[in-house]
Amino acid sequence: MKTLQHTPQYLNWQRIKASLLLGLAPALTVTPLQLQAQEGPQLEEITVTARQISENLQDVPVAVSVFSEEQIERTFAQNLKDFGAYAPNVSIGTVPGFNAASIAIRGVSTGDIPASFEPAVTIAVDGFYLGHYQASLLDMFDIQQIEMLRGPQGTLFGKNTIGGVGNVTTKRPSGEFGVQGKVRAGNEGRLDVMGAIDIPIMQDTLSARIAIQQFDFDGFYENTYNGSDAGGQDLQSARVKLLWTPNDSFEALLTYENIDDKSDTPMVINTTTSDDPNGYYGGDAFYAVYPGRGAGGPANRPLGDPFKTGLVPPREHIPLSILGAPDTEGHEEDTNGLYLNVNWDIFGGTLTSITGYREVNSDYYNDYFGEPLAVYATVRVVDRETWSQEFRFAQQATDNLNYVVGFYYQDNQYDYENYTSLGPDHPGTLGGAWGPEGLPLYGDGSQDAEAYAVFAEGNYNVTDALRVTLGVRYSDEEKDFDLLPLGVPEEGRGVANDSWDDVTYRAGIDYALGDNMMAYFTYATGFKSGGFNEQAGSTIGAETPYDPEEADSFELGLKSDLFDNTLRLNLAAFYVEYTD
């Protein structure tokens, strides 16, 4: 049998010795033009926070692709996945069989869903690190700016950034009354409604912003099991922000978010045809053993139609009923988050505090066969809680020196259950030891991961043209893990504890070749935490940790605004060595 699924690649088990690429980002794809009456069309200045301070993009010796609110609107992007085509060396997709983001930057990614796996590219939303690809495929409404930082960001952003960082900023309350709305409609029942309102509460002191959205879509596929639509979307979300600015030197931004996603299971398409000699069990020979028995029967086969699939509901998988699996027919995620961002101008600098809590409760149903037969299916239940606290202090210490120092702490916990059904239509159930009801398999696990880090980075102007950058970060993480592997009796539960630490660096030099051109060279290291394998099939496997990954990156770049500030040409060549 052939299915349109990709085999996940585990970077934990391989070593990429080196890669060398050249990224060219034309101005028309990254920078809008701003009309100026006297000077003619000019490139506007773009402000980024790639080094945890606000700077002009062209002054930052980091490879960054930036998408403003205007550009996001022009792309008609629905979620983060749509931006992989617009940034050099960046690919954004979904984990096969799941609605979770799979992000690769400069060839490095984590392409599987297990809750214990660490990402290679971190997504930060308003300074809060999501920590896992689960519920990270962000929708694009109410987004102010996206920055894709390419290459290891091991000093200021920390662990799990050996590929890079997706730095997302959402819209803040404006302090003035305003309403924004958007409706998107299409075929197959596509109807997306989005709206936002700015509400001034106390003039120049207290204001709010509320953004809501509803996505509905029937799906492009037909489920041949019962003739229903498949592959659809049903998502509601809301974000509420409250901004308090009692004076010019202090601000506090409180944010609450909720995402209620009851979308369909991502489709598995079986491309086996009736005369395919290489099909599962030899094409028709497989179905010859099913004389009309089973959930849907061979009469309703998709027969290679790319818009038809056989999705058998979980209640038709007898082993899932035996195990008491949740009766969810899709991928359901309920996300709640509460975040507090505080900036206080004090001691000649800015003290920043970012406190965040996010919980994601999810039920995932997958039928991996793509035929109207109850052969192989799973229900995964994952409940995750993430709490983090970051303190940063940034200061322009002298005319020539600025720096950022900080502390970061994160506690990331999850509980996991896996209900798996083999049968009743699985070949092994036909007169075998499993019996006509199939084989029920159960596994569960949990993890509590605590991480903390201290970091510092500074920039010193040696001359008006020459600047050096030095940064360092110490990271420490400990994980308590337990796992009952799928189908293993309770006495085979594995329990383990381990910890890892690392020191990452950044050293760079940049030189102004003129008013609108800068060349730079950077050496940076990155660290991806070690951990445990939720997919382990034995007690020994569950208790055996995998090693951390480290990256050593060398980057040579040029940033330039040419032809009277009408063309922006940014180049980056890099060499990265990854080890585990």
Q: What is the pLDDT of residues 418-440, one digit of tens each?
A: 999 987 777 666 655 666 778 89
Phi-psi region at 282: left, alpha or beta (left = phi > 0; alpha = psi -120 to 50): left
The CA R_g of the chain, rounded to the nearest whole Å, is: 26
At 527 the three-state DSSP class reads: strand
SS (H, E, C) 451-468: EEEEEEEEEEECCCCEEE
Is residue 31 predicted with pLDDT exceeding 60?
Answer: no
SS (H, E, C) 127-144: CEECCCCCCCCCECCCEE
DSSP tag of 474: E
Is residue 30 predicted with pLDDT exceeding 50?
Answer: no
SS (H, E, C) 378-424: EEEEEEEEEEEEEEEEEEECCCCEEEEEEEEEEEEEEEEEEEEEECC
pLDDT at 137: 73
Q: Name the nearest CA neighbour of 390 among 376, 403, 409.
A: 409
pLDDT at 427: 66
Instruction: Provide the residue count of the chain.
Output: 580
Residues 197, 190: Cα–Cα separation, whole Å? 24
Q: Among all chains, which residue has been given the structure tokens 């996010």?
A: 358
**Biggest distance spanned by C-alpha atoms of the chain:** 85
More confident: 426 or 165: 165
Q: What is the pLDDT of residues 453-472, one digit of tens each?
A: 999 999 999 999 999 999 99
Distances in Å between the alpha carbon of 479 and those of 15, 444, 447, 508?
A: 24, 17, 7, 33
Q: What is the pLDDT of residues 539-566, one digit of tens each?
A: 999 999 999 999 999 999 999 999 988 9
- Reported as type and span, the H/E element at residue 322 is helix 318-323
Count of CB atoms situated within 10 Å of the CB of 243: 20
Q: What is the pLDDT of residues 372-391, one digit of tens each?
A: 888 889 999 999 999 999 99
Residues 149, 152: Cα–Cα separation, whole Å? 8
Residues 361, 329: Cα–Cα separation, whole Å? 16
The pair phi, psi for residue 162, each rounded to 5°, is: -70, -20
Tokens of 533: 């394998």
Confidence of residue 180 (pLDDT cuts 50, 70, 90): very high
Residue 285: CB partners within 8 Å, gap ≥ 6? none
How many percent of the chain have pLDDT more than 90? Answer: 59
Q: Mean of the per-residue pLDDT values for the chain?
A: 85
| 503-514 CB burial, b ≥16 within 10 A, e <16 | ebbbebebebee
pTM of the model: 0.88
The pair phi, psi for residue 360, each rounded to 5°, is: -130, 120
| 191-228 CB burial, b ≥16 within 10 A, e <16 | ebbbbbebbbeeeeebbbbbbbbebbbbbebbbbbbeb
Is residue 366 predicted with pLDDT exceeding 70?
Answer: yes
Count of CB atoms situated within 10 Å of the CB of 76: 9
Quote the distance between the C-alpha of residue 178 and its chain's center. Answer: 31
pLDDT at 470: 97
Average pLDDT, integer, range 64-80: 85
Task: Specify burial of residue 176 (Cβ count, 10 A radius: 0-12, 13-18, 19+).
Answer: exposed
Is residue 398 predicted with pLDDT exceeding 80?
Answer: yes
pLDDT at 273: 66
Residues 105, 66: Cα–Cα separation, whole Å? 15
Omega cis (within 30) before 424: yes
pLDDT at 96: 64
Distances in Å between the alpha carbon of 44 and those of 58, 66, 399?
A: 11, 13, 26
Is residue 8 predicted with pLDDT exceeding 50?
Answer: no
Confidence of residue 275 (pLDDT cuts 50, 70, 90): low
Q: Among all chains, which residue has been given the structure tokens 């983060």?
A: 80
